[in-house]
Chain A
Amino acid sequence: MSAILECRNLVKQYGYFQALKGVNLSIEKGKIIGLLGPNGSGKSTLIKLANGLITPTSGEILINGKAPGEESKKVISYLPDKNYLNEWMTVEQLVGFFHDFYEDFDAHAALEMMARLGVRTGDRLKNLSKGTKEKVQLILVMSRKAQLYLLDEPIGGVDPAARDYILHTIISNYNEEAAVVISTHLISDVESILDEVVFISQGEIVLTSSVDEIREQRDQSVDGLFREVFKC
């Protein structure tokens, strides 16, 4: 199977600080992958590089074999770890915006999910609660039929009910032809929906494995292994 995302000796340097120290990674379609690491380990940097929001210092990052560009942006659906949508826009306008620019966006499905959550589509984003805002962002991102979903901390700072809703949305919306990368440090929350995990620490990949493998061979959960690997 061909890799949708591939990194070759990927380095990203900020001044004297190396955020990524030569990462080699290959992610295939049809899998949900957890990009797991403590805060500041390089998770967001990796995801931003894949989106072309920052440029590599050296090495390569390839989407479908090509450097990030107009083509890769058509097939990547990205959820940043911050509020990145225009605050003055209404939910309806945002749905229209996504519909205008992404051919694979299903406006009908998005509006349906918004309605189910009780989001009033006439409301401006700035009038929504933090949790609702995050859900709106996730619904927009998951309403695309993308080949690669890059979700940066999708469950950071939401209550358990919202977390369940978010995971449910991810599982029921992703298609089998796609890969989903979920970056998080809250492992026990996402563990059951992952196929594979990538542990990243201080800009280096320290482990890649399937979840079942970890449980079968080490008799422990990914969360347990994570706590062991990243013990302070």
Chain B
Amino acid sequence: MLKKLIHHEFIATGRIFLPLYGAFLIMSVLLRVYMELQNAWSFELPGWLGVIGAVPIILYVLLFIAVLAATVVVAIQRFYKNLMTEEGYLMFTLPVKVHQLINSKLLVAVIWSIASGLVCVASIFILVATPDTFITIGHWWKIIYLSAADQGLYLTGWLAFELIVSLLVGVVGSFIMIYAAIAATNFNSNHKLLMGIGAYVAISIVLQTVSSIVMTVLGMTFSQTLADMLLDSRNYMGFLDMTLWVSTIMSIITSILLYLGTHWVLKHKLNLN
């Protein structure tokens, strides 16, 4: 059943993302052509016509923002509209488990986020890539790597892995936080928007307070170790490692709690009107 839910979720969201990606990538190509032409002929539009010259860039930026915003807006819209409004009458009468409903939405939202990120990278490549781009990147990478290593920072595959994991956990966590806030709208049928925003702000404040308390406590408890680490440049890696893992694990724990809360509301406290 989860598979089928995911399948239909892709159909419902793909009809927004795919055309948007298409438009964005086409716009990237057009802008590149436009810039190349401008370079080749080195023309410049006189006076107020210069404004027209900026139109392709403005369009590109708007599409860029749209692609990034869509990942969040569509996730909100799919969870709210599809589950908490009339459409919920269909979704909550399907013979599926509540966690399957949440998981299908979450997984698809995360996949589109990754896709949006890749599309943005691709677009930038379209805009600036030249035959020797990769050589340039390799060159810069070497410089960055060496100077970081000089400071005791080793940009290893392991670090990349850690960063990717923590990024992924962050993305998943932020969607779960949005879902929890939307689930909270279920408790106040008259002011849903207010309830949702209020819940989101409240969750953020609580999470931030808790995380700063935890960080402070940890910092104080291990102050000696930390000081040692920071003083000895050879231990930068250990310090980075530890902070990353602590914040990632905390993020995982809060995400699990929020997920369970969302699930509990939708399973036991559902009140569609």
Inter-chain CA distance A73–B98, complex, in Å, is: 12
Given known A53-B270, A97-B8, A100-B4, contact A84–B95 (CB-CB < 8 A): no
B269 proximity list for chain A (CB < 8 A): 55
Contact assessment for A86 and B93 in the assembled complex, using a CB-CB cutoff below 8 Å: no
A80 proximity list for chain B (CB < 8 A): 86, 89
Inter-chain CA distance A101–B95, complex, in Å, is: 7
B96 proximity list for chain A (CB < 8 A): 70, 73, 101
Contact partner, A51, options B7, B87, B93, B97, Cβ 8 Å: B93
| A88 at the B interface (CB under 8 A) | yes
Interface residues of B in 5-36 (CB under 8 A from A): 7-8, 11-12, 15
| A206 at the B interface (CB under 8 A) | no
| A82 at the B interface (CB under 8 A) | yes
Contact assessment for A53 and B272 in the assembled complex, using a CB-CB cutoff below 8 Å: yes
Shortest C-beta distance, A125 to chain B (Å), equals 12
Q: Which residue of B lies closest to A140 (CB)?
A: B90
| A168 at the B interface (CB under 8 A) | no
Q: Which residue of A lies closest to B89 (CB)?
A: A84
Inter-chain CA distance A14–B15, complex, in Å, is: 38
Contact assessment for A53 and B94 in the assembled complex, using a CB-CB cutoff below 8 Å: no
Inter-chain CA distance A138–B184, complex, in Å, is: 32
| A48 at the B interface (CB under 8 A) | yes
Contact assessment for B89 and A53 in the assembled complex, using a CB-CB cutoff below 8 Å: yes
Contact assessment for A76 and B268 in the assembled complex, using a CB-CB cutoff below 8 Å: no
Using CB atoms and an 8 Å cutoff, list the residues of chain B in contact with chain A.
1, 4, 7-8, 11-12, 15, 82, 86-90, 92-97, 268-272
The 4 tightest CB contacts between A and B, nearest first, are: A84-B89, A74-B95, A73-B95, A80-B89
25 example contacts (A-B, Cβ-Cβ < 8 A) are as follows A51-B93, A52-B92, A52-B93, A52-B270, A53-B88, A53-B89, A53-B93, A53-B270, A54-B270, A54-B271, A70-B97, A71-B95, A73-B93, A73-B95, A73-B96, A74-B95, A78-B93, A82-B89, A84-B86, A85-B87, A86-B12, A93-B11, A100-B4, A101-B95, A102-B94
